[in-house]
Amino acid sequence: MIDCQLLSQGDKQNMRRLQIHRSTLCRRMAFSLSVSLTFGVVGCGDTGPEIVPITGKITKAGNPVAGASVTFYPLDGRPSYGTSDNQGVYSLEYMMDVPGAVVGTHRVTVMKQGMGPPPAEAAPAPFERPQRTVRRTNDSFEVTLPEPIEVESGATTVDLVVP
């Protein structure tokens, strides 16, 4: 060790800076090593559940069901949802911009809210708030399918028959 009494004031400051630099460097190296070991042992985890694209056709009494909302509820995890077009064809979305459903067993709900034509009344007077009338047609329903649906890896088509 160097005798500090023989060193000039500038040399003493340089020695302190070197000691501080070494301790900072050692702390940074220890932190980097601990982070590396943590990710090396634990890993980043899996990338999430396996999701497969699902499309299908919804029918009731042999006819396509247009404008129905369909929801696949897995036993564990996030549900998937979709809406049928005029031919009863739907496609599921797991989350925004992620099509499909989780592989596994699902409870499936199909819902249709039928709206009838607006009432044939005279137009309201200016600045008068019209009465709000909701007319439902006989094709409104909400059904949970009695049997669970199995979404398998690689599956793409799941047709649904509403009882």
pLDDT of residue 47: 79
Closest CA to 136 of 121, 120, 117, 109: 117
- Where do the structural domains in the chain lie, given as residue ranges? 4-42, 51-117+132-162
Tens of pLDDT along 121-151? 444 444 444 444 434 456 788 999 999 999 9
Of the candidates 61, 160, 146, the residue with the CA atom closest to the CA atom of residue 101: 160
Q: What is the pLDDT of residues 72-113, one digit of tens each?
A: 999 888 999 999 999 999 999 999 989 999 999 999 999 998
Token pair listed for 146 = 């009695």
Whole-angstrom distance, CA of residue 95 vs CA of residue 72 = 12
pTM flag (> 0.75)? no
Give tens-digit pLDDT for 7-59: 555 566 655 655 655 666 556 666 666 656 555 545 455 678 999 999 999 99
Residue with tokens 């819902």: 111
Contact (Cβ atoms closer than 8 angstroms) between residue 68 and residue 112: yes
Token pair of 2 as six digits:
């160097």
User: Which of the two residues, 30 and 116, has the higher pLDDT score?
Assistant: 30
pLDDT in the model for residue 5: 54
Q: What is the pLDDT of residue 106?
A: 95
pLDDT of 119 reads 47
CA–chain centroid gap for 56, Å, is: 20
Which residue, 96, 136, 142, 144, is CA-closest to 114? 136
Element (H, E) at 84: none
CATH C-level class of 51-117+132-162: mainly beta
Distance CA 144, CA 141 (A): 10
